Amino acid sequence: MKPPIFSIRPTGNDVQQYLHRARMFRRAAGELVDYVNGEQYWPKYALLMHAIELALKAFAMHSESAGKPRGRQPANHDLRGWYDLALQYGLQDEPSVAADIHVLNELHRNHYTRYPQERATPVPDASVIADSTVDHLIDTFTQTINPR
């Protein structure tokens, strides 16, 4: 497909753009394999974890624009911090999602998916939890941000 002569101006507000971008990263990751030569295919998980981060930030932005008092903003790449903020804004806590966020946060926050690092503990298998976690969050937030 040829690129357009003029780029398309994004539509929607900032919250919708964050959620749209999360879907774009999710879609790109869906076309990648889970493993290559027995090793987790880290580019896929970097995309999925960034999609989770964008979705959580979209929910926080939506909550603040809806009049909820602004909470303390976590650092970038802190999935657990953004998830906790979403809980403060009314996201229903689901223990399995919280546990998955805890595992993925360690990989995302220390940039493990982007840079090789020695680890004292085994590397968790992101293929088991990353897809379902991002899908759950995007679906949940879509119902809140873009109700139909």
pTM: 0.89
Average pLDDT in the chain:
90
Q: What is the pLDDT of residues 59-97, one digit of tens each?
A: 999 998 888 888 889 998 999 999 999 999 999 999 999
Range of the domain at 112: 14-145
Locate 18 and state its tokens.
């964050």
Which CATH number belongs to the domain containing residue 80 in this structure? 1.20.120.330
- The C-alpha angle 143, 89, 49, rounded to 5 degrees, equals 65
Say if 89 falls within a structural domain: yes
- The C-alpha angle 59, 66, 78, rounded to 5 degrees, equals 25
How far apart are alpha carbons 138 and 135 in whole angstroms?
5
Say if 3 falls within a structural domain: no
- pLDDT score for 25: 97
What's the structural domain count of the chain? 1
